Amino acid sequence: MAKATCISLLVVVALATAASAQLSATFYDTSCPRAMSIIKSAVTAAVNSEPRMGASLLRLHFHDCFVQGCDASVLLSGNEQDAPPNKDSLRGYGVIDSIKAQIEAVCNQTVSCADILTVAARDSVVALGGPTWTVPLGRRDSTGASAALAISDLPPFTASLQELVDAFAKKGLSVTDMVALSGAHTIGQAQCSTFRGRIYNETNIDSAFATQRQANCPRTSGDMNLAPLDTTTANAFDNAYYTNLLSNKGLLHSDQVLFNNGSTDNTVRNFASNAAEFSSAFATAMVNMGNIAPKTGTNGQIRLSCSKVNS
């Protein structure tokens, strides 16, 4: 009996270890050694052509991971793409499709769309002058997507500090992770409809900044007019986002709540005064986010096309 019990315990331990340690930075070193360089070259070219694309690819990864894990569900046509948080807002699908086609040409059905998106997010940050980090690989792609989860799990631009903390905690991410990942708004642009309420109705906003934004975001029109999330260095990945918050120049409501006499004020001050501290925290948070519920082993599939499941 003792021997049988010992063997069964070993099996349980082995299964648990396999389940928790399947992502590896060297996952494609043998099966597709060119994959990482193909992704980097394509992302660098796309960002050089249009700096905003770096923020778009980073946001695609975030919107993927927060809905049923980092499984490329957001890349499937329809479903999540048509959900209110994503529709007419997410972009960069064509860049990922192009990368996938290039990789398929050299390594057929080997590299997942989920991994391509994760690496592309990292390479986008690097292309705009931000930090790099080692990306664990081995994710597989989902065979379904959920518009309902996109609505319930993606924190809205109207979120309070507590709602942000709760949304990230639900995904196993800490408050520090949340504040660091919000720093992704040091790049990219937002649509007028997402910040109109703040620039006309909120009081914890620099008046000159609000007036400047109102010029291109009227009260009743121009919903899709764009403004940089970071007016200081719009196309550079740095810590200016946090400096802006100290001056009440956060563009979105969900930005400024990070610095509004609340529990995250000191973290914002720290990141504003210490660029290296922010870079380190952001890299850590990105790895943590990339580890949200990945499909591995025999779960999911390696899609041949990122926009549809294999037939």
Mean pLDDT in the chain?
94
- Find out whether 141 is annotated in a ligand binding site: no
Residue 220 backbone dihedrals phi, psi, to 5 degrees: -125, 5
Does the annotation list 186 as a binding residue? yes
Q: Is 233 annotated as a binding residue?
A: yes
Do 57 and 112 fall into the same domain?
yes
Q: Determine the pLDDT at residue 114.
A: 98
Same-domain pairing of 282 and 267: yes
* Total number of domains in the chain: 2
Domain end among 152, 172, 196: 152
> Which residues touch 253 (CB under 8 Å, ≥6 apart)?
157, 158, 159, 195, 197, 198, 202
Handedness of CA 80, 81, 84, 90 (dihedral sign): positive
Q: Is 230 annotated as a binding residue?
A: yes
Task: Give the CA count within 13 Å in the CB-facing half-sphere of 12.
Answer: 6
User: Do residues 183 and 242 lie in contact, with contact meaning Cβ atoms separated by under 8 Å?
Assistant: yes
Question: pLDDT of 146-184, one tens digit each?
Answer: 999 999 999 999 999 999 999 999 999 999 999 999 999
Check whether 155 is labelled as a binding-site residue.
yes
Q: What is the mean pLDDT of residues 279-286?
A: 98
Residue 202 located in a structural domain: yes
What pLDDT does 238 receive? 98
Range of the domain at 144: 32-152
114 and 173 in a common domain: no
Q: Is 250 annotated as a binding residue?
A: no
- Residue 92's contacts (CB-CB under 8 Å, 6 or more residues apart) are 46, 53, 56, 57, 59, 60
- Say whether both 173 and 254 belong to one domain: yes
Residue 206 counted as an annotated binding residue: no
Q: pLDDT tens digit string along 106-136?
A: 999 999 999 999 999 999 999 999 999 999 9
Instruction: Say if residue 123 carries a ligand binding annotation.
Output: no
283 and 167, same domain (yes or no): yes
pLDDT at 47: 98
- Verify whether residue 61 is a known catalytic residue: no
Supply 160's token pair.
């309070």
CATH of residue 44: 1.10.520.10
Residue 301 lies in a domain: no
State percent of the chain over pLDDT 90.
Answer: 93
Domain containing residue 235: CATH number: 1.10.420.10
Write down the catalytic residue from 63, 122, 171, 253.
63
Say what the pTM is: 0.92
